[in-house]
A = this chain, B = another copy of it.
Amino acid sequence: MTETNLAVLLRARPQGAPVLSDFDIVEHAIPKPAEGQVLVRARYLSLDPYMRGRMSDAKSYSKPVEIGAVMEGQTVGEVVESRHPDFRPGDTVLGGYGWQRFSAVDSSRLWKISPHDAPLSWNLGVLGMPGLTGWWGLKEIGQPKAGETLVVSAASGAVGQVVGQLGKIAGARVVGVAGGAAKCAFVTDELGFDACVDHRAPLDPALDAACPAGIDVYWENVGGAVQAAVFPRFNDFGRMVMCGMIAQYNTAPGADASGAPAGPNLGPVVRKRLRIQGFIVSDHGWAQYPAFRAEMLGHIAAGQMKVKEDVTEGLENAPEAFLGLLEGRNFGKAVVKVL
């Protein structure tokens, strides 16, 4: 094996928006798998907004990445060496091995998947954590019904594209919110959403036009001005699925950070009987991963679940791509091809 183990480490905790110097790109040793472990070579790394939280030591639902440690992340790749009877070299596996080329992983943290189901990288998006997030949150919290209006922020992103297409399959009117004409055109023309609101233009008239019957379900990925514009438009018994608020990840990363912008007055929650619920897919969702995967493969086969990816070549370019993701510069699910 002549390859080296390229890795991206957390060098410094960002103050506000992360910068490239918050990361270190190093070559370290290829680990030796212990008994029961498997050595995996990553082919694709997923970039996701939650990683911003892991760079911070503010109180959160998960431990931060330590300074000097490998950045956390989901990867898909193949088994190089196995010390567990269930895995063999060449097996395709999905798991959280971090921003590095080679990892020695406990077998309990691996999903063995078929390399023939879909393009390999899709296992990080529509068939991976973001897809599972959208599927679980919509099934358990959002519950859009036929004829209801579902609004999806960050509509062309990894989670948004899944949520909107699942909403269409459920028979809802689906309205995306995305940044710029190109993303909006993609959301309606390729993904089949009924409408898309460009958040760079005034939101109120655009939402009025796109949601003539009000809003029953809002999938929250962004927070900020979009949340403020959506909130007063909820119908009675509206549901707000709190998946993320990327608009403030760089300014208010902590759980109770002072300086976070105010939220909506909650009076309408009583009068309209709204439900606002947050969730983290890792609390629940992976137990349902096989059912989720089977359902999604069915939707893909039926042509009802399209995928757009934003692929960055080379692990050394992951930090730059990640900074772009936090600013909405990606167009589609952000993945890194680990060369």
Contact = CB atoms under 8 A, between A and B. Distances in A.
Chain A, interface size: which category? 35 or more
Report the copy number of this chain in the oligomer.
2
Interface string A245-288: 10010001001110011111111111111111111100100000
Nearest to A264: B263
A207 interface: no
A224 to B, nearest CB: 10
A81 to B, nearest CB: 38
Contacts of A262: 262-265
Contacts of A266: 220, 223, 227, 242, 245, 263-264, 276
A33 interface: no
A263 B260 contact: no
A276 to B, nearest CB: 4
A164 to B, nearest CB: 19
Given A256-B232, A265-B261, A265-B263, A61 B271 contact: yes
Contacts of A276: 266, 269, 274-277
Contacts of A53: 271
B252 A267 contact: yes
9 smallest CB-CB distances across A and B, nearest first, come from: A262-B262, A260-B265, A269-B278, A270-B278, A276-B276, A232-B256, A263-B263, A275-B277, A242-B269
